[in-house]
Chains A and B, each alone.
Chain A
């Protein structure tokens, strides 16, 4: 660091924003565990609602299943 006078640090800049042991949203496997996400990248209405998701599926199976997110 520079040879300049600075005050006493009031913070530790390397205090981790993540505490080990806590679940991480980005961790591998999370996407697959969430409901409504199919392994091929498509999704079903289950990702948007738990209430009768099948009733929210497209009428024609050949249509894309585009739930509101």
Chain B
């Protein structure tokens, strides 16, 4: 793992380069780097967040049945992932298992979310960094090669050269860009059918759903899903052509955004044939999920046991604006299996915000804490990343080799995805193979393969849902009572990676609630052990391929690395160049100071 080195900027050699804000999430992600232009390398990187959310603070005392409606508002793009995850945690606390059809409806809604969100991110945001206009500007020699390079999958997608594909990625004018917007609209319609509304579902509840399971509901979904398949088949072929071209055109490009293989996936799509939401059986039903949970370290699958995954979670401080909670209350000393639960586990966390000045030079600099996973084999606190979600999901599922449905099969080293014949394209079998690296290109490539995975899996969920309806099984909700004292945890995959909700109920009210979405994992700052967060780690030491010098530097390689993690939607990127000197130091420990 890369370790941080303190580098003093020298004019003309090591230059401060900063991007803040970097994402759409109310401008709260900033990347501060020092770049050595003589050696074309990033020598240091810090990831900061300037906004305090406080969900864990204001959830206390509320009715637990409101949790999914409130926590859905954490995100403006994957709110339904939060709602579903919260329902999983509540179902464990209430001891209720939804009827199978309710579970299939939730799975169908979530599959549509993966399709919609990955497409809009990949084709409308990531590919702006790979489009004609951008590459022509940042790497003119690469663009010249792209115009001459034949696209190997031209027969599938219809673009003769790689340059033609990149031209179709141009924002607002490119063909793929515009078609992707249309596809993401269809995806949202599919979510609305199953979950009532997008982004904040209105018919997803603990105990099931309020969606009326009529045959029309499922045929409406199916007709939309089939319209996506033509696009998906072409998109996968185009992605492969462009990414393979980047490896060829710029030898060494695999180093961009590369870090040690440390991936976490908390599993998605519960299987109603097995899930009972009982913590004591969590290992069994977790392994039956249609995306297998797992932790992958250096290419090896360490565990697929959700109990191990749960107990290994540690929330560290080190560079965050919070007070320590070691002396605070221990809400859950032991889990329902009798295993001790660490004080740094989300069940026992107490959030103590301490706003302060940002100090990027050895002090605290972020509102994000540092979630880590304790590897009991080595005693390390691993800074797992999610690989933008898709990479970790495919990697863990492939290695585990447990998923076996008529449309998707994990082989132990790859994932096979069968896509049916659709009006414009023939039947296709895609194979996502475990890649050699965890880097920017492979994170991006996995994303489009996971769209195909989710779409194929949705066909299986539809088959099962239709079987229920044909048998006249219309029950989609199971009633329950709220206990006075209970604990629960939900494990799910937000589109961009691991998602957990930990809940403690006392007196019928929420005593403690901690959601951990993927961005705190990926965008975490350096922890108390000195381990940098994944963005920092991936960017530090990476080579720079951009042909511009410091004066008109756009930082495209750094952007590709950070954006490959899907840091929510990076639609507004601003940059200022320090040119080795500090023009103006702005401290923004709290949202709102910039106005």
Contacts and interface: CB of A to CB of B under 8 A. Distances in A.
B481 A28 contact: yes
Interface in B458-502: 469-475, 477-482
Contacts of A69: 212-214
* Interface footprint category on B: 35 or more
Contact of A26 (B65, B215, B472): B65
A5 to B, nearest CB: 10
A22 B534 CA distance: 49
A49 interface: no
A17 B65 CA distance: 9
Contacts of B509: 14, 16
B323 A2 contact: yes
A13 B509 CA distance: 11
Contacts of B63: 16-18
A27 to B, nearest CB: 6
A17 B58 contact: no
Interface string B381-406: 00000000000000000000000000
A44 B319 CA distance: 60
A1 B353 CA distance: 8
Interface centre among A4, A37, A64 (most CB of B within 10 A): A64
B354 A64 contact: no
B473 A42 contact: yes
Contacts of A66: 214-215, 469, 472, 474
A30 to B, nearest CB: 5
B153 interface: no
B197 interface: no
Contacts of A3: 323, 354
A9 B66 CA distance: 21
A14 B470 contact: no
Sort chain A's interface into a size bin. 20 to 34
A23 to B, nearest CB: 12
Contacts of A7: none
A42 B509 CA distance: 34
Contacts of A14: 60-62, 509
A24 B64 CA distance: 13
A13 B474 contact: no
B352 interface: yes
A27 B215 contact: no
B99 A41 contact: yes
Q: Is the interface of B mostly helix, strand, loop or mixed?
A: loop
B481 A27 contact: yes
Contact of B62 (A17, A27, A29, A31): A17
Contacts of A42: 471-475
Given A17-B62, A18-B63, A68-B214, A28 B479 contact: yes
Interface string B321-357: 0010000000000000000000000000000111100
A64 B469 contact: yes
Given A1-B352, A2-B353, A13 B60 contact: yes
Question: Which of B57, B66, B214, B475 lies at the interface centre, i.e. has the most chain A CB atoms within 10 A of its CB?
Answer: B475
Contact of B477 (A1, A27, A31, A68): A31
B475 A37 contact: yes
A41 B352 contact: no
A13 B62 contact: yes
A41 B61 contact: no
A24 to B, nearest CB: 8
B207 interface: yes
Interface string A30-67: 11000001000111000000000000000000001111
A41 B57 CA distance: 40
A42 B213 CA distance: 12
Nearest to B510: A14
Interface string B94-135: 000001000000000000000000000000000000000000
A55 to B, nearest CB: 18
Contacts of A26: 65, 205-207, 479-482
B149 to A, nearest CB: 54
Nearest to A1: B352
Contacts of A12: 61
A41 to B, nearest CB: 4
Interface in B201-256: 205-207, 212-215
Contacts of B508: 16
Contacts of B355: 4
A31 B475 CA distance: 9
Contacts of A67: 474
B564 to A, nearest CB: 35
A1 B58 CA distance: 11
A4 B58 CA distance: 16
- The 10 residue pairs across chains A and B that have the minimum distance between CB atoms: A14-B61, A69-B212, A64-B472, A41-B475, A42-B472, A17-B63, A43-B474, A2-B353, A41-B473, A31-B479
Interface of B: 57-58, 60-63, 65-66, 99, 205-207, 212-215, 323, 352-355, 469-475, 477-482, 508-509
Interface of A: 1-4, 12-14, 16-18, 24, 26-31, 37, 41-43, 64-69
13 contacts: A2-B352, A3-B354, A13-B58, A13-B61, A13-B62, A29-B479, A41-B99, A41-B474, A42-B471, A42-B472, A43-B475, A64-B470, A66-B474
